[in-house]
């Protein structure tokens, strides 16, 4: 009798093992399918970028000759000639112009949005609910309905063909998304230290500068990085407001280059496209590291 029990136990054990093996194999197969799809899709997705970089080091004959992305004999022609552009200015000028827009815009965004988010997060005041509803409302408001009167306003102020229309609205915390983002961060920071500072006689502004800002730095940096990348990409704003070539940012300069005779010189335009994408790519990879650090630091602090 005990024999048969042992026997059936063995059988059950064997069957269980067989079942587990089947399960394991099934898991391995799904895993292999997952990896295959991810790799194929990833390659298709990134191929245009590989091709862009590769082609920027080719001669035009080679670009038109094959769909491959590895240049047979890498040449810098595209970069050297593209940098000169068909205008009296080099691409360096256009990068400098872009910087002249990005620097004030990013700095003003970070400062104004931090101050405003602090006001929303830490104080009660009459009309707060309505104003906060406006923050949420403008998140979804399509810019298309405000653009024309804004243009007329800046025209009245004599700001056309200057960078002011591109960054002054941001100095008034105009990008509701960033106010919202900083507000979320502020809500997760305990108030104890600010209250201690206030008890010790600090004003609310001193509490902001010496207590809140140091804790908010990671969030402020990510706001700055996002604003940097978005401003780098902005095209419609400069297109509407900037009319003289000497003031063009890179986005307009690139559009200009495909409209002129240069458009047949693919390698020049592709090379300048690579340079245009480079700052955003660098910032993205830097910020990725920063985000990871910020998250883990936050985790350690609890």
Report 46-85 residues binding another protein (CB under 8 A). Answer: 46, 48-49, 51-52, 55, 64, 66-67
245 and 24 Cβ atoms separated by less than 8 Å: no
118 touches another protein by CB under 8 A: yes
Of 140, 162, 175, 157, the C-alpha closest to 240 is 162
Residue among 89 and 132 whose Cβ is closer to another protein: 132
b or e along 157-194 (b: 16 or more beta carbons within 10 Å of the residue's beta carbon)? eebeeebbbbbbbbeebbbbebbbbbbebbeebeeeeb
In whole angstroms, what is the distance from residue 250 CA to residue 269 CA? 12
In whole angstroms, what is the distance from residue 62 CA to residue 79 CA? 16
Number of shown-chain residues binding another protein (CB under 8 A):
81
According to CB under 8 A, which one of 13, 19, 172, 210 is a site residue for another protein?
Answer: 172
In whole angstroms, what is the distance from residue 39 CA to residue 84 CA? 39
Helix extents (H) in 141-212: 147-156, 164-171, 176-188, 192-199, 204-207
45 touches another protein by CB under 8 A: yes
CB of 18 to another protein, least distance (A): 19
284 touches another protein by CB under 8 A: yes
Residue among 6 and 111 whose Cβ is closer to another protein: 111
Residues 222-281 that bind another protein (CB under 8 A): 229-230, 232-233, 235-236, 240, 250-251, 254-255, 258, 266, 269-270, 272-274, 276-277, 280-281
140 touches another protein by CB under 8 A: yes
Residue among 6 and 148 whose Cβ is closer to another protein: 148
Residue range at the interface with another protein (CB under 8 A); choices 8-16, 17-25, 76-84, 113-121:
113-121
């Amino acid at each position: 009798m005990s024999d048969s029990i042992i026997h059936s136990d063995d059988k059950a054990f064997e069957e269980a093992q067989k079942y587990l093996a089947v399960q394991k194999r099934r898991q391995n197969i799904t895993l292999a399918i997952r990896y295959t799809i991810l790799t194929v899709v990833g390659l298709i997705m990134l191929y245009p970028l590989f091709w862009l970089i590769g082609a920027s080091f080719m001669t035009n004959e080679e670009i038109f000759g094959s769909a491959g992305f590895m240049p047979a004999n890498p040449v810098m022609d595209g970069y050297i000639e593209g940098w000169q552009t068909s205008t009296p200015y080099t691409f360096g000028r256009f990068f400098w112009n872009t910087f002249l827009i990005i620097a004030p815009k990013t700095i003003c965004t970070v400062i104004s949005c931090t101050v405003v988010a602090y006001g929303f997060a830490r104080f009660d005041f009459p009309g707060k609910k309505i104003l906060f509803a406006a923050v949420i409302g403008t998140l979804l408001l399509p810019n298309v309905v405000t653009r024309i009167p804004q243009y007329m306003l800046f025209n009245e102020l004599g700001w056309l063909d200057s960078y002011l229309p591109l960054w002054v609205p941001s100095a008034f915390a105009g990008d509701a998304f960033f106010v919202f983002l900083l507000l979320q961060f502020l809500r997760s920071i305990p108030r104890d230290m600010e209250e201690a500072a206030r008890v010790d006689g600090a004003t609310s502004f001193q509490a902001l500068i010496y207590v809140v800002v140091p804790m908010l730095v990671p969030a402020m940096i990510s706001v700055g990085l996002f604003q940097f990348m978005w401003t780098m990409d902005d095209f419609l704003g400069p297109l509407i407001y900037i009319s003289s070539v000497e003031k063009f940012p890179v986005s307009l300069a690139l559009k200009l280059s495909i409209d002129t005779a240069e458009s047949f010189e693919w390698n020049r335009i592709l090379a300048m496209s690579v340079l245009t994408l480079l700052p955003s790519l660098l910032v993205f990879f830097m910020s990725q590291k920063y985000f990871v650090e910020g998250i883990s630091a936050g985790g350690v602090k609890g």
